[in-house]
């Protein structure tokens, strides 16, 4: 069995309370002498705090549970976790991630996590979507990350897709582009919202889109679906109103646009500008020319989520849209 406070107390000739105060109670008043002695003995015996014991006393363990809809594997999901983890660490909390695989109900996964009496629980979606949280869970899940909770009973943190699209369009406009096409990701929430922002920003400038086209044939975007990008680019270039900028649904799509433009003998950004969403660094920074793209606020969502969870004052539930951030490279 591991060393306990009473082992240290015995060895130091003081009470357990004194040991507890010396090791953990930063503010507990006692002679520096005693404190030093206790710490030395603890170190010598290799004492490791028993958080389970502290937890049963306090009613909670220094954990924040994160239930995610699938294994955390994409770079985006990793960023969310990074954000959560950084903020948790500063607060002395650890992140306990459990994934909600297809077989189970959200409720059963949340209960599983609750058995450990975490300080708080978050739900994180792997991509921006709508999620219905069962009403019974509104009390136990403190914040929804990367998804919109329908009932409005719990605070949701999502990327400001519409704002991000507006921003990149304005940037294209500021660079002098006027005929802008959008090869968008179809069938997903992010795509629909970005299209709204795209159209709004053009309208604001008194312009019309040159074309809003789906990157793939299937109604739901997937990297596996057969791509329409190359043929769209050809169509756009053949038309009377040839675009001077193409906005892409993500960096992968942009890569295909690059290839199609190269085939057509067009120079980026001189003949035509290309911009997109995602900022997959490995990809975007290595394209030639490096790609200007809107980075998603994944890390910020993670950080803010943790701050909300650990804040003393609970705020009324709301939907919070976090801003994208423009990564300027050389494609515009």
Q: Which residues bind DNA (CB under 7 A)?
A: 1-6, 13-18, 20-21, 23-25, 28-31, 33-34, 47, 49-50, 53-54, 56-59
Closest distance of CB 324 from a copy of itself, Å: 22
Q: Which residues make beta-bridge pairs with 276?
A: 293
Is there binding between residue 262 and a copy of itself (CB under 8 A)?
no
Chain mean position to CA 123: 11
Interatomic CA distance for residues 142 and 153, integer angstroms: 10
322 binds, among a copy of itself, DNA, none (CB under 5 to 8 A by kind): none
Is there binding between residue 134 and a copy of itself (CB under 8 A)?
no
Q: Please provide residue 295's backbone torsions phi and psi, each rounded to the nearest 5 degrees.
A: -85, 135
Is there binding between residue 210 and a copy of itself (CB under 8 A)?
no
Looking at 21-29, 107-115, 191-199, 239-247, which segment touches a copy of itself (CB under 8 A)?
107-115
Would you list the DSSP string of 209-238? -SEEEESBSSSS--TTSPB-HHHHHHHHHH
The nearer residue to a copy of itself, 139 or 240, going by C-beta atoms, is 139
Closest distance of CB 95 from a copy of itself, Å: 9
Task: Kindly report the number of other CB atoms within 10 A of residue 149's CB atom.
Answer: 22
Is there binding between residue 127 and a copy of itself (CB under 8 A)?
no
Residue 269: is the preceding peptide bond cis (ω within 30°)? yes
CA distances for 181 relative to 139, 235, 270, angstroms: 45, 11, 16
Closest distance of CB 117 from a copy of itself, Å: 5
Out of 28, 40, 53, 311, the residue judged to bind a copy of itself by CB under 8 A: 53
Looking at 76-84, 172-180, 214-222, 233-241, which segment touches a copy of itself (CB under 8 A)?
76-84
Out of 3, 16, 30, 72, the residue judged to bind a copy of itself by CB under 8 A: 72
Closest distance of CB 2 from DNA, Å: 6
The nearer residue to a copy of itself, 39 or 320, going by C-beta atoms, is 39
> In terms of DSSP bridges, do strands 292-295 and 325-327 run parallel, antiparallel, or are they unpaired?
antiparallel
CA distances for 201 relative to 128, 132, 229, 231, 253, angstroms: 22, 31, 23, 26, 22
Three-state SS at 183? strand
Interatomic CA distance for residues 194 and 177, integer angstroms: 19
Is there binding between residue 111 and a copy of itself (CB under 8 A)?
yes
Is there binding between residue 7 and a copy of itself (CB under 8 A)?
no
Closest CA to 171 of 321, 298, 292: 292
Is there binding between residue 97 and a copy of itself (CB under 8 A)?
yes
Sheet of 325-327, strand order: 211-214, 180-184, 245-248, 273-278, 292-295, 325-327
The nearer residue to DNA, 22 or 133, going by C-beta atoms, is 22
Task: Kindly report the number of other CB atoms within 10 A of residue 220's CB atom.
Answer: 11
Closest distance of CB 26 from DNA, Å: 11
Out of 3, 16, 20, 78, the residue judged to bind a copy of itself by CB under 8 A: 78
Closest distance of CB 20 from DNA, Å: 3
Interatomic CA distance for residues 170 and 176, integer angstroms: 10
15 binds, among DNA, a copy of itself, none (CB under 5 to 8 A by kind): DNA
| Interface with a copy of itself (CB under 8 A) | 1-2, 48-53, 55-56, 59-61, 63, 71-73, 75, 78, 81-82, 85, 94, 96-99, 111-112, 114-117, 223-224, 282, 286
């Amino acid at each position: 069995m591991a060393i306990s406070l009473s082992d240290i107390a015995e060895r130091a000739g003081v009470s357990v309370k004194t040991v507890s105060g010396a090791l953990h109670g930063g503010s507990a008043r006692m002679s520096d002498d005693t404190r030093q002695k206790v710490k030395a003995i603890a170190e010598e015996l290799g004492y490791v705090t028993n958080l389970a014991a502290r937890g049963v006393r306090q009613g909670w363990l220094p954990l924040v549970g994160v239930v995610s809809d699938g294994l955390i594997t994409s770079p985006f999901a990793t960023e969310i976790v990074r954000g959560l983890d950084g903020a948790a660490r500063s607060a002395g909390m650890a992140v306990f991630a459990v994934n909600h695989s297809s077989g189970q109900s959200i409720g059963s996964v949340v209960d599983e996590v609750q058995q450990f009496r975490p300080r708080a629980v978050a739900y994180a979606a792997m991509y921006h979507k709508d999620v219905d949280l069962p009403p019974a869970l509104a009390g136990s899940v403190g914040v929804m990350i990367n998804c919109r909770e329908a009932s409005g009973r719990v605070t949701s943190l999502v990327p400001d897709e519409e704002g991000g699209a507006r921003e990149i369009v304005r940037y294209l406009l500021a660079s002098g582009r006027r005929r802008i096409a959008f090869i968008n990701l179809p069938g997903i929430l992010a795509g629909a919202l970005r299209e709204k922002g795209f159209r709004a920003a053009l309208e604001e400038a008194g312009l019309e889109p040159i074309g809003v086209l789906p990157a793939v044939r299937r109604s739901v975007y997937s990297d596996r679906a057969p791509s329409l990008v190359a043929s769209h680019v050809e169509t756009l270039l053949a038309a009377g109103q040839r675009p001077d900028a193409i906005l892409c649904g993500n960096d992968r799509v942009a890569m295909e646009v690059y290839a199609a433009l190269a085939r057509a003998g067009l120079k980026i950004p001189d003949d035509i500008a290309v911009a997109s969403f995602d900022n997959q660094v490995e990809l975007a920074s290595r394209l030639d020319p490096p790609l200007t793209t809107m980075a998603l606020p994944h890390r910020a969502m993670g950080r803010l989520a943790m701050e909300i969870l650990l804040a003393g004052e609970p705020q009324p539930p709301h939907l919070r849209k976090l801003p994208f951030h423009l990564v300027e490279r050389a494609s515009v």
